[in-house]
Structure 1
Amino acid sequence: MAVKIGIVGMNGIGNNHANCYKDDELADVVAVCDVVRERADAAAERHGVKAYYSLKDMIENEPDLQVVDITTGGIDNGSWHFEPAMEAIGYGKHVLVEKPLCNDVREGRELVAFAEKQKVYLGCNLNHYFTAPAEKAKAYVDGGDIGELVYCLAKMGFNGGEANYAPAGSAKISGHPYFHMRAFLTHPFSVMRHFCGDITHIQTFSDRPGFRRSAGDVMVSINSIHVKFANGGVGYLLSQRGDAVYGLGGWWSLEVAGSKGTFCIENCVEKVSFWKAEKGIAAISVQPEPIVTDFGTNDFNRTFNNRLHAFLEDVENKVSQDQLRASGRDALAVLEYVHAVQESYELGGEVVRPHPLPPLHGDPLYLK
C-alpha cells in the first residue's frame, strides 16, 4: 500500500522529491506546503495535490498523512529543518529531512532525541550511498573480501578554479564561513561512516584560496581532514568548493583498503573497482588486475529516487528503529563530525573527539 506523504518546502529540492515520488509505487503525495504562498500554489498545480501554507494546517486537514518530507533550506542549507521536523514529530508523523539534519548540532541532538521519545521514524536524505556501486562495494565489505580496515580515502566536492569563481549572491551562503562544511561535508562523512564505521578522532587543516580572500569571501572552502575510526583504521577526506579542477576519480571518489582487498568507487554512480590482496604482490612493480564493474550511467539524480524509495520501504515494512537506513541518528553522527571539523579548524588544527552519539536502546519488539 502506498505511503501518504506531505512535502514541506517547495523550492528546487521539494519539487525534485515530488517528481521522484511520481515514479514510485510506494508513494502517494497528498499535499505540499510552503510559507511562500506562490510556491505552494505553483507546486500544488504542478503535482496535482492540495496546497497548504502552514504545516499545522496540512497535518490537521490530512488525517491519513503518514510521512512529512521536509525539504526546506535556510542558512548553510539546513537552518529551516529543525522547527518543522519537531512540529511534525510532535504530531506523531514519520519525518524525512533533507541534509544536513540541522545546521546546529545542538538542534540535531534534540531532534533525534524527540523522534526516539515519540517512537516515529526520522530519516535524512544521505543519498550518496544509495547507488549500485555502493551496493556492490558493501557486498565486498560484508562478504569479508576487504578484511580488516587499513585506510579510507575520500575526495568529494566541486570542479572549478579561479576562472570559474563568482562570489555567492545568496544571503544563505554569503558571509557564512562554514557554509561548505555544514552544507556539504555531511555527504562524504556519511559515505565514509557507511563503509568504515564510527569516527573517534578528527583533525582538519582548512583554508580558502587567495582569490576568495581578495573578493572578501569568508567561506572556508578547502578542507583537508584526517580521521581515526573506532575499529582502528585511518582515513582522509579532501573536499573543496570549486577552487580547483579535480583529477583522477572525478568529483567523487572513495577508496577503502583492507587486509584482504581494496575497492574504489568513481564518480558516485559510475563504477567500482576491486583489487584482491594476493600473495606475491608486495613488489612495487606488481599490481593485480582489478575487477571493474561499470554500471553504464552518470545520472547522479537517480540517487534521490533510490534513497526516497528506501525510506518508504522501511516505513511500509515497519522495520526496527535500529535498522532504519540513513536514519536521523546516522545524520546526527555526521553532523557531530562536521562540528568537530569546525572546532579543529578554530583550534588551529588540534585533534578533536566528536561528541558521542546517544546510546542505542533497542526495540523490544525486535530484540529477542
Structure 2
Amino acid sequence: MSERVRVAVVGAGGWGRQHARAFSQHSKAELVGVWSRDLGRAEARATDWHTKGFDDLDRMLDETTPDLVSVCLPNTEHFLLTRQLIARGIPLLVEKPLVFDLAEGETLIREAAERDLFFAINFNHRYAVPVLRARDDLAAGRLGELEFLTWRFGGEGGSDHHPHANLIETQCHGIDLLEHLGGPIESVTADMTDAQGNHPTVVATLRFAGGAVGSLLGSYNSSYAYPGTHLLEVNGHRGRLLIEDTVKRYTFSTAGEPTREVWEASYFDDRSRSFEQTFDTHLDALLPALQSGAPPPVPARAGLRALTVATAIIQAHQTGRRTQVPSG
C-alpha cells in the first residue's frame, strides 16, 4: 500500500460530508471518489473536495481502485450495499448502526471474516478526548472496583423508519461506550414510551459481568439544544468520572476529596471541542492500522455487539422480564 490510503466514500448526505472532509484533509489519505445514487449530489460533493463523483458503484471501484471504502448511507440502507462491497473484497469502514437486524449483522460479519477483510465501524465517541482520558484513568486503577455506570443522551429524532430507531441507531453509542469502559453487559431490563408503535424513549437497567450495575436513558423526544444533553458517569470505590456532552468536559473526582480534576479544551484547541473531528482522531488510528496489516481499532464486530445488546433490551421490554445478553 502506498504512503497515502486511497479512499472512496459511499454516500453524499450530511455525515457523508464529514467523511469526505476528513479523508481529504488527512495526511495519510487521498479521496479518490464519491458515490451517490444521485449523480448530481455525488458530483457536487466531489467538486468540494477536488475529486470525481459517480452514480455507478462498480465503475467507481474499477476506475479508482481504492484501498478503503467508507460507507455512509441512510441508517436503514446499510445491509445490501455493505454486503456487495464485502463481496468485492475491499477493506471497509462503515457508519453505525451496522444494521437493524441481528441476522443481517451476523451475515456481514461472517462473510467479511471468510475473506479475512479489514472491516471497521465508526464508533467515533471512543475518540473524544474525555473518553480517551476516562480509559487512561480506568487503566491506571484510579476508580478502583466499579460500582455503577450511567448514560443519558437525548435530542430530536424521528422513528418513522424503524420503531426502535432511537435505541439502535443512536443509543448504540451508549451501549458501545458503557461496555468500552465497564466491560460486558450480561443482562438487562427495559421500559419504553409508545408513540403509535414507535418507541422514541428507552430506559434500560444493566448488569455487567464484572458485578457493576448501570442504566441507559435515551430519547428522540428531547432536544440537542438543551444544556447537558449528554452525560456519562462511571462510579468506582475509589473515584468517579463524568463525561459531559461527549467533547465538552471531563471531570475526575477521588472518593472523599472535595477537589476535582477537570479537563476542557483550551482556547485554540478547536479540534478537541469538535464532535465532528472525533472522526478525524479515529482515522489517526484506523489508517495506520490498515497500512500495517493490523486489525481495525474499532472492528465492525463492535457494531454487531451493540446490536446484540439492543436486541436484548427490546426483548426485555416486550416480555417484561430480565433478559440475558449473549456473550461474544
Structure 2 length-normalised TM: 0.91
**Number of equivalences:** 321
Partner of 2:139: 142
RMSD: 2.1
258, 267, 281: which is aligned to 2:245? 267
1:25-174 alignment, distance < 5 Å: 25-63=27-65, 65-73=66-74, 77=75, 79-158=76-155, 173-174=159-160
Q: What SS does the aligned partner of 1:243 have? A: coil
**What is the CA-CA distance between 1:26 and the residue it aligns to?**
1.0
**What is the CA-CA distance between 1:244 and the residue it aligns to?**
6.8
The answer to whether the 8 Å contact 2:154/2:224 transfers is: no
Partner of 1:11: 13
Greater Cα shift, 144-153 or 36-45:
36-45
1:308-323 alignment, distance < 5 Å: 308-319=283-294, 321=295
Partner of 2:236: 258
Is 1:198 matched with 2:184?
yes
Q: What SS does the aligned partner of 2:283 have? A: helix
1:281-300 alignment, distance < 5 Å: 281=256, 288-296=258-266, 298-300=273-275
The answer to whether the 8 Å contact 1:69/1:95 transfers is: yes
**What is the CA-CA distance between 1:354 and the residue it aligns to?**
2.3
207, 210, 229: which is aligned to 1:231? 210
The answer to whether the 8 Å contact 1:55/1:84 transfers is: no
Greater Cα shift, 307-316 or 327-336:
307-316
153, 162, 181: which is aligned to 2:167? 181
- 1:224-283 Cα offsets, whole Å, 9 max, x none, are 111111211111111111337898x71111111112221111111122111123xxx4xx
| Structure 1 runs of 4+ with >6 Å offset | 244-247
Q: What SS does the aligned partner of 2:44 have? A: helix
- 1:274-319 Cα offsets, whole Å, 9 max, x none, are 1123xxx4xxxxx532111222464222212222332212212322
The answer to whether the 8 Å contact 1:253/1:266 transfers is: yes
**What is the CA-CA distance between 1:69 and the residue it aligns to?**
0.5
1:209-248 alignment, distance < 5 Å: 213=195, 218-243=197-222
Q: Which runs of 5+ in 1 are unaligned?
A: 161-166, 282-286, 358-368
Matched residue type, 1:182: I
**What is the CA-CA distance between 1:96 and the residue it aligns to?**
0.5
Matched residue type, 1:276: T
**What is the CA-CA distance between 1:332 and the residue it aligns to?**
0.9
**What is the CA-CA distance between 1:8 and the residue it aligns to?**
0.7
In the aligned structure 1, how far is the partner of 2:260 from the partner of 2:273? 21
The answer to whether the 8 Å contact 2:223/2:229 transfers is: no
User: Percent identity of the aligned residues?
Assistant: 25
Q: Which runs of 5+ in 2 are unaligned?
A: 267-271
Partner of 2:324: 353
**What is the CA-CA distance between 1:193 and the residue it aligns to?**
1.2
In the aligned structure 2, how far is the partner of 1:222 from the partner of 1:43? 34
Cα pair distance change 1:354/1:143, threshold 3 Å: same
The answer to whether the 8 Å contact 1:176/1:218 transfers is: no
In the aligned structure 1, how far is the partner of 2:42 from the partner of 2:161? 29
- 1:37-87 Cα offsets, whole Å, 9 max, x none, are 222222222222222223222222223x110101011xxx2x221222222
In the aligned structure 2, how far is the partner of 1:231 from the partner of 1:100? 26
In the aligned structure 1, how far is the partner of 2:223 from the partner of 2:32? 43
316, 330, 333: which is aligned to 2:302? 330
